[in-house]
Amino acid sequence: MKTHATTKNIVMTKLNENASKTQSGEDSHRRKLWMSGMKRILIGFFLAVGVMFLRHDASAGTRILNVVFRLDMVNSGVDTNASGKISGNLIRNASGSNQQLKLTLAKLDPNTAYHLSAFIGDGADLIHVADFMTDAKGAATVNYVQKCPGNSNRGGQPLPTALDPISHIHQLDIVNANGDVVLTGAIGADIQADCDAPTVSFTVPADGAHNVAIDQAITATFNEPMDAGTINRTAFTLKKGTRSVSGIVTFAGATAIFTPAHALESNTVYTATITTRAKDVDGNGLASKVVWSFTTAAATTGQAGVVLGASGGFAVLAGSTVTSTGNTTVNGDLGVSPGTAVTGFGPGIVNGAIHAGDTAAAQAQLDLTVAYNDAAGRTVGAVTIVGNLNLGGRTLAPGLYKSDTSLEISSGDLTLDAQGDANAVFIFQMGSTLTTTVGRQVILMGGAKAANIFWQVGSSATLGTTSVFKGTIMALASITLTTGATLDGRALARNAAVTMDSNTVTIPAP
């Protein structure tokens, strides 16, 4: 389908034709006045000269874009006989993209050199694009084409870099050897053609990973937005040998998530594959399929890890707001939902994506709720902490620890000893608050990993000044990191804010 727009000539009052052309100073002044006025007029109406049609075919999982425009060029009055037309198109669909730009000029000076110049984007300077010659009748046709790499440019000259994409052209001018603008015209729709195939930036687990938890969700993060309709069980598969593993495929932000229907088998090699059916929002598929393998951990009699789903990619996630003071560094994604407020970045730095109230943050909150309820609902093998609720100074083995009220680390540091089991899981349940005091630490030994430590907090968590904490905090309400506290883990708040002050938060290694 094509949509056409024909723009009539703008009727403009010519400048005083009685002025002497031999007076170069007045000519220059006239050109400047004309160009200034024209630019204001053209920029004001350029959106009217290109009509865009955008259709999304949900069943095919592709996006089709067809921008077609036609317009008459405006005569500046320098050569009253000159005329010109501009036509072009920008087409994008599942099979690729191409562009065409054609200028048809008549009644210029015969056998004469002219320049094609342009205003690009928001630039204020006229850019020289190309030179051309008129024929014996004063006519010329300039035809540019561009297709995606690998396709020919038959039917015209290759589109100059300055004019790519054509939707960024705000004005085209035909200029004579004296620097006078003879004809001008404007286009623009600010839609770019994308010919590049998407890639997978990283996977969890990484290719070749060992000791992967048997309840691990498998994820692949792309380098650009993808068409969610193409991310499904056909495009994203997991196999043990040749046998397919059943599961659910979801997509959030730029991350595809395969959640197995059942726990994976221990000490087993699995292979994940994204096929080339996965496409970006412009219809470009992966250039080749992405395949990676990993080995699950040996069987263990301890607690299973908590599956975080989409929330696992977030170092910081809040329900209402995320606020930072000072030079905070977040290594991983940062998000908030259903709230949208994120403040303090910069001077704070996020080495990842910021998702403020978008679908990725919403999906992460949904998965956080599932993970929180899982951790809160564990009962088998629970060690109930009563009386002294201070964990400071203790050394704890892997397991499930429960307090109906609060827990704190204040009288000393807490040591978590995995006792040589790299897959050992520590889960802490508390009905109310979690608090650490100034300088207190969580120390890991015996192969313990921050990725396998989970803190389910019934209300709010506060990490004291310069304290060093390990594990994923899942709080029903808020999380506060006071000045200089560091977290090797995640700060995930379901309903309220995450507040930081010159902190470092880093998603733990698997």
Strand 83-93 to 62-72 pairing: antiparallel
Residue 190, domain member (yes or no)? no
What DSSP letter does each residue of 206-244 carry, written as one string?
A: PTTEEEE-TTPPEEEEESS-B-GGG-STTTEEEEETTEE
Residue 1, domain member (yes or no)? no
Report the 10 Å Cβ neighbour count for 431.
15
* Residue showing tokens 């669909």: 93
Tens-place pLDDT, residues 398-448: 999 999 999 999 989 999 999 888 889 999 999 999 999 999 999 999 999
Tens-place pLDDT, residues 329-351: 999 999 999 999 999 998 999 99
Of 48 and 397, which is predicted with more confidence? 397
Residue 193, domain member (yes or no)? no
Banded pLDDT at 41 (limits 50, 70, 90): very low
- Indicate whether 306 pLDDT > 90: yes
Tell me, what's the pLDDT at 66? Answer: 66
Residue 476, domain member (yes or no)? yes
Residues 39 and 137 in one domain: yes
Residues 441 and 465 in one domain: yes
Residue 303, domain member (yes or no)? no
- Indicate whether 474 pLDDT > 90: yes
Beta strands of 81-216 (E only): which ranges?
A: 83-93, 96-106, 113-120, 127-133, 140-147, 157-158, 169-175, 181-185, 200-204, 209-212
Of 154, 185, 216, which closes a domain?
Answer: 185
* Residue showing tokens 């303090």: 344
Amino acid at 12: M
- Indicate whether 39 pLDDT > 60: no
Using alpha carbons, select from 374, 203, 27, 490 the residue that is nearest to residue 500.
Answer: 490
- Structural domains in the chain (count): 3
Residues 58 and 94 in one domain: yes
Residues 278 and 327 in one domain: no
Of 128-142, 145-159, 258-272, 456-470, least confident by mean pLDDT is 145-159
Residue 449, domain member (yes or no)? yes
CA distance linking residue 489 with residue 332, whole number of Å: 10
Banded pLDDT at 148 (limits 50, 70, 90): low
Residue 304, domain member (yes or no)? no
Of 270, 296, 322, which closes a domain?
Answer: 296
- Indicate whether 173 pLDDT > 80: yes
- Indicate whether 469 pLDDT > 70: yes
* Residue showing tokens 């009253």: 80
Tell me, what's the pLDDT at 94? Answer: 53
Tell me, what's the pLDDT at 251? Answer: 87
Tell me, what's the pLDDT at 465? Answer: 97
Using alpha carbons, select from 74, 77, 65 the residue that is nearest to residue 21.
Answer: 77
Residues 38 and 159 in one domain: yes
Length of the chain: 510
Residues 161 and 25 in one domain: yes
* Both structure tokens of 461: 């968590």
Residues 130 and 220 in one domain: no
Residues 17 and 142 in one domain: yes
Tell me, what's the pLDDT at 16? Answer: 31
Residue 53, domain member (yes or no)? yes
Of 27-31, 99-103, 266-270, 303-307, least confident by mean pLDDT is 27-31
Q: Residue 368: in which H helix or E strand, if any?
A: helix 359-377
Residues 37 and 144 in one domain: yes
Residues 273 and 365 in one domain: no
Of 296, 317, 351, which closes a domain?
Answer: 296
Q: Could you list the residue range(s) of the whole structural domain that residue 247 is in?
A: 200-296
CA distance linking residue 156 with residue 355, whole number of Å: 43
Residues 6+ apart with CB under 8 A from 33: 15
Residues 113 and 222 in one domain: no
Mean pLDDT of 262-272: 88
Q: What is the mean pLDDT of the chain?
A: 82
Using alpha carbons, select from 402, 407, 405 the residue that is nearest to residue 390.
Answer: 407
CATH number at residue 241: 2.60.40.1220
Using a pLDDT cut of 70, give the percent of the chain over it: 81
Tens-place pLDDT, residues 102-136: 899 999 999 999 999 988 877 778 889 989 999 99
Residues 388 and 483 in one domain: yes
Helix, strand, coil shares, percent, the chain, to 5 = 10, 45, 45
Q: Is the pTM of this model over 0.85?
A: no
- SS3 (DSSP) at 38: helix
